[in-house]
Amino acid sequence: MTQLQIGPHAVWPPVVLAPMAGITNAPFRTLCREFADGVRGFGGRAPDVPAAPGAAAVPGAPDVAAADPPGASDVPDAANPPGSPGAAPAVRKGLFVSEMITTRALVERDAKTMRLVHFDAREKPRSIQLYGVDPATVGKAVRMIADEDLADHIDLNFGCPVPKVTRKGGGSALPYKRPLLRAILREAVSGAGALPVTMKMRKGIDDDHLTYLDAGRIAVEEGVTAIALHGRTAAQHYGGTADWDAIARLREAVPEIPVLGNGDIWSAEDAVRMVRETGCDGVVVGRGCLGRPWLFGDLAAAFEGTGAPAAPTFREVAAVMRRHAELLGEWLEDEARGVVDFRKHIAWYTKGFSVGSEMRRRLAVSSSLAELDELLGALDGDQPWPAGADGPRGRTSGRDRVVLPEGWLDDARRRGW
Hey, which residues are catalytic here?
A: 160
Residue 280 DSSP SS3: coil
Tell me if residue 262 falls in helix, strand or coil: strand
User: Per this entry, what is the length of the chain?
Assistant: 417
Q: State the Cα–Cα distance between residues 328 and 372, nearest whole angstrom.
A: 13
Cα–Cα dist 153/133, whole Å: 20
Distance between CA atoms of 220 and 333, rounded to whole angstroms? 42
CA 283 from centre of chain: 9
CB neighbour list of residue 197: distance below 8 Å, 6 or more residues apart:
142, 154, 155, 156, 185, 188, 189, 223, 224, 225
* 118 vs 411: CA distance, rounded Å: 39
Residue 61: C-alpha distances to residues 65, 88, 252 (Å): 11, 18, 21
DSSP class per residue in 157-220: EE----HHHHTTT-GGGGGGSHHHHHHHHHHHHHHHTTS-EEEEEESBSSTTSB-HHHHHHHHH
Residue 17, CA distances (Å) to 25, 96, 181, 185, 307 in order: 11, 5, 24, 22, 22
Instruction: Confirm if 400 and 327 have CB atoms less than 8 A apart.
Output: no
Q: What is the DSSP letter of 149?
A: T
∠ at Cα 42 (273, 323), nearest 5°?
A: 105
